[in-house]
Structure 1
Amino acid sequence: MTTKNTTRRLERRLGDAMRRHLPRPITELVMFTLKQAWACLFGALMLLGLIVSDMIWQDSWALARYDALVIYAIALQAAFLILKLETLAEARVILLFHLTGTAMEIFKVNAGSWAYPEPAILKLYGVPLFSGFMYASVGSFMARVIRIFDMRFAPYPPIWMTFALGAAIYINFFSHHYIWDMRVFLFAATLLLFLRTRIWFRIAERDYWMPLPLAAFFTSFFLWVAENVGTGTGTWIYAGTDGLSLVSFAKLGSWYLLLYVSFVTVTLVMRDALIATPITKGRATPTEQSQAQSHPTD
């Protein structure tokens, strides 16, 4: 049985049980919340690891906290594959995001944007190797939420434009240290390119939709909250801060842009979810599905 079919079967059982006891609108709100929580399971477990390790770790222990987090993250990833919570195709593209995230971490740490203050053996140019798994958790959420909600994106812009935007955003994270910051224009580009794009998602047998930029904003807010967990546990410290104050709201904008990098990366293995023309229901017609298949050559 495929991962998607297993998820649907579990959802159906849970939904049927709740519908026997709750009004339908409340049931679907609860199902939406549970499915979102299930989709971000990897990220939630990583945050739990940061919190618990901060609470219990002793400087006298032989194993450094950062090194323990690397082992923990690898074990999590292995468990997700063994338990079929992620597919191999998803894991490969998440690995790509892991590598690009680690590269950015190395650059940012050495540029003085933030630092990892604790000692560790498994560090590369001042960056503990578990940090790449924090970026991978975003990719994991993207891949899992698309599959769990059976999402469709329509009308989806030409593929080459989305990858050009993702590349421009990624490059700007590096280049703004040397030249002017293009993020205002990149914010505008996300709206110009995706303003018409609806995310269609399914709860039980009903389809709902949300504008893609709005969904990106909401997701970036929760990532900003998660980042405050990291700074609150002292796992990383931003330059010029004491590690106790809230992360700047400007970082919310950074996460908003980084989400598009993650999203277009995940679409490498989820082309079936991309529909070139508008649809009025969450399920695309055969014609629209055909257009989706030809979309990558646009």
Structure 2
Amino acid sequence: MQLLHFGYQQAVSCLFAVCVFGTLALSKLLTLPAGHRYDFILVVLLLVQVMMVASGLETKDELKVICVFHLIGLALELYKTHMGSWTYPEASWSKVFGVPLYSGFMYASVASYLCQAWRRFNLSMTGWPARGSAAVLGTLIYLNFFTHHFLPDFRWVLMVLVFVVFWKTWVSFTVRDRTYRMPLSLSFLLIGFFIWVAENIATFFGAWQYPDQEQSWHLVGIQKIGSWYLLVIISIILVAQLKRVKEAREPSRP
């Protein structure tokens, strides 16, 4: 029963991500009567986002976090496509410098999952690193995604630093009436793995295309798990910091 309840709450937390990949699949299989596929995906995901907030599945505070992730992801997409890391080969009215605006929703779906899971599992952290160190580490990880094109790639150094900075940090989560806990670094790796699985689904349905997938689709290299691992760290640090800011601003209850 615990496992079933855990799986159900995880599935609900992934609702927006499921909508993203479902729309990708649907748009690939259907012949659209007018317009471009990337524009269709953007319109559908905007409607899904509005419906989730209107129905109460997502709070307005969670929407703000998701918008921040959308902008961060879009900035990374603009740079990466400019550097030739991947491409969006199809035509679209909603492209900006070769990047369709829907692409930011793929990063936003990670934020949506984190916010939903945080609320549904009543997540809490123990042993969070000293103030500022997590933020500095997250900033260095994000910058490395940009600088490794013309400077040495420090991702392995940064991964070691993650274990150093977070080695005392544990995450607790509640399933029904029982609380479990695990090392936060392990949760980074597990989420990164499942995003890698999702990435393979996304590239299969043409969400984007790596240079070595131009002739035919094949599995994304397993080393990409490391990249997603680092991106998840940025995501969790950012969500945690925003929640701390919100808690500090809220008046204490008597």
TM-score above 0.5, yes or no: yes
Q: What value does the CA root-mean-square deviation take over the aligned residues?
A: 1.7
Structure 1's unaligned 5+ residue stretches are 1-26, 275-291, 294-298
Report the residue type matching 2:15 in the other structure.
Answer: L
Runs of 4+ in 1 over 4 A off after TM superposition: none
> In the aligned structure 2, how far is the partner of 1:203 from the partner of 1:161?
30
> In the aligned structure 2, how far is the partner of 1:79 from the partner of 1:64?
23
Structure 2 matches for 1:41-190, cutoff 5 A? 41-58=15-32, 61-190=33-162
Which residue number in structure 2 is paired with residue 260 of structure 1? 233
What is the deviation of 1:235?
2.1
**TM-score (norm: length of structure 1):** 0.80
- From the CA coordinates, give the structure whose radius of gyration is larger: 1
The answer on whether the counterparts of 1:94 and 1:266 sit within 8 Å (CA) in structure 2 is: no
Structure 2 matches for 1:269-280, cutoff 5 A? 269-271=242-244
The answer on whether the counterparts of 1:90 and 1:266 sit within 8 Å (CA) in structure 2 is: no
Structure 2 matches for 1:234-245, cutoff 5 A? 234-241=206-213, 242-245=215-218
2:12 is equivalent to residue 31 of structure 1: no
1:150–1:194 Cα change, 3 Å: same
> In the aligned structure 2, how far is the partner of 1:136 from the partner of 1:159?
26
User: Which one of the candidate residues 222, 225, 234 is aligned to 1:249?
Assistant: 222
> In the aligned structure 2, how far is the partner of 1:161 from the partner of 1:273?
19
Which residue number in structure 1 is paired with residue 184 of structure 2? 212
2:206 is equivalent to residue 228 of structure 1: no
> In the aligned structure 1, how far is the partner of 2:23 from the partner of 2:109?
13
Which residue number in structure 2 is paired with residue 8 of structure 1? none
Structure 2's unaligned 5+ residue stretches are 250-254
The answer on whether the counterparts of 2:142 and 2:231 sit within 8 Å (CA) in structure 1 is: yes
The answer on whether the counterparts of 1:223 and 1:255 sit within 8 Å (CA) in structure 2 is: yes
The answer on whether the counterparts of 1:116 and 1:235 sit within 8 Å (CA) in structure 2 is: yes
> Number of matched residues?
248
Which residue number in structure 1 is paired with residue 252 of structure 2? none
Report the residue type matching 1:157 in the other structure.
Answer: P
SS in 2 for 1:48: helix
Superposed CA offset, 1:71-102 (max 9, x none)? 01111111111111121112112111110100
Report the residue type matching 1:50 in the other structure.
Answer: L
